[in-house]
Amino acid sequence: MAKRLLGKEVTAALNERIKADVAALEEKGVKPTLCIIRVGENESDISYERGATKRCETLGVACEKILLPADVSQDELLAAIDKVNKDDKVHGVLLFRPLPKHLDQSVIENALDPAKDVDCMTDGSMSGVFTGKNVGFPPCTPQACMEILDHYGIDCTGKKAVVVGRSLVVGKPAAMMLIKKNATVTICHTRTVDMPSVVREADIVIVAAGRAGVIDDTYLSAGQTVIDVGINVNAEGKLCGDVDFEKAEPVVDAITPVPGGVGSVTTSVLVGHVVEAAKRKFA
């Protein structure tokens, strides 16, 4: 049976580091503060917001909210972003996306002060992920994958890593982060021919396919570490990943469960970015 890479263990270690940083900032009279901007009433946004709010509370980070109606105008939303940009008490901003279609998402994303961009929304942060420069913050989900690898001491140097998925939110940034960790990285996607044979060759597999259980044992081989980014609801109404866990677990060396894997680490990574943004400001 594979070793289970548990999000809660990673989160516990992360949270200790964050709490220590928060305490150090408090001594300087600084309260790290996240501002969540939500447009409309999307259910998954509200669910993520609930988790982030709770995690902020636990870790001693303040959490403000700006809630706007789904038909908010571009100018009103830009004014809200301008307000948080200018607010010295706010260190990090989370804006839920995708935005309603009448808004120009690219303009709005880039209106945010890059120093407060804790969820990699601006072109500046994105270029930081690509260039490896310390600009802004990487997206939280792929960083959560890296935190899991780090926590469990899985060295990437010289390893073959395969990323399944080429999205801007997970696949591409995960690939860049793995290259920075000296892995030889292959990026697979919907147009990849004979994906099972490609994925089987990997030492480390990060799956962000966005489809429930598509990666089964025919894609996997002994000795692999599998990080499953997927969060899906299966036919029985239960949460499941992009990896078929029942079939994968007997084959591979280590695997993240869903739920209880990557998803549970992401919120702490986000709060950690807010604290880091506050630290950078007072460095």
Binding residues for NADP(+): 165-167, 231
- Considering the rule CB under 8 A, would residue 176 count as an interface residue with its own copies? yes
Return the number of the residue (28 or 101) whose C-beta is nearest its own copies: 101
Which residue of 29, 153, 158, 237 would you call a contact of its own copies, by CB under 8 A? Answer: 158
- Contact window for its own copies (CB under 8 A) among 18-26, 123-131, 210-218, 260-268: 123-131
Strand pairing of 204-207 and 254-255?
Answer: unpaired
Least separation in angstroms between residue 161's CB and its own copies is 10
- Considering the rule CB under 8 A, would residue 133 count as an interface residue with its own copies? yes
- Considering the rule CB under 8 A, would residue 179 count as an interface residue with its own copies? yes
Return the number of the residue (71 or 201) whose C-beta is nearest its own copies: 201
Count of alpha carbons within 13 angstroms of residue 217, beta-carbon side: 11
- Considering the rule CB under 8 A, would residue 123 count as an interface residue with its own copies? yes
- Considering the rule CB under 8 A, would residue 221 count as an interface residue with its own copies? no
Read out DSSP for 180-233? Answer: HTT-EEEEE-TT-SSHHHHHHT-SEEEE--SSTT-B-GGG--TT-EEEE---EE
- Considering the rule CB under 8 A, would residue 169 count as an interface residue with its own copies? no
- Considering the rule CB under 8 A, would residue 63 count as an interface residue with its own copies? no
Cα–Cα separations (whole angstroms), residue 45 to 67, 187, 211, 221: 12, 28, 20, 36
- Considering the rule CB under 8 A, would residue 28 count as an interface residue with its own copies? no
Burial 217-235 (b: 16+ CB within 10 A, else e): bebbbeebbbbbbbbbeee
Neighbours of 236 (CB within 10 A): 6
- Considering the rule CB under 8 A, would residue 128 count as an interface residue with its own copies? yes
- Contact window for its own copies (CB under 8 A) among 75-83, 127-135, 145-153, 233-241: 127-135
- Considering the rule CB under 8 A, would residue 172 count as an interface residue with its own copies? yes
Neighbours of 157 (CB within 10 A): 8
Distance (Å, rounded) from C-alpha 246 to C-alpha 216?
9
Residues found near its own copies in the complex (CB under 8 A): 106, 123-124, 126-133, 135, 157-160, 166, 168, 172, 175-176, 179, 182, 184-189, 191-193, 198
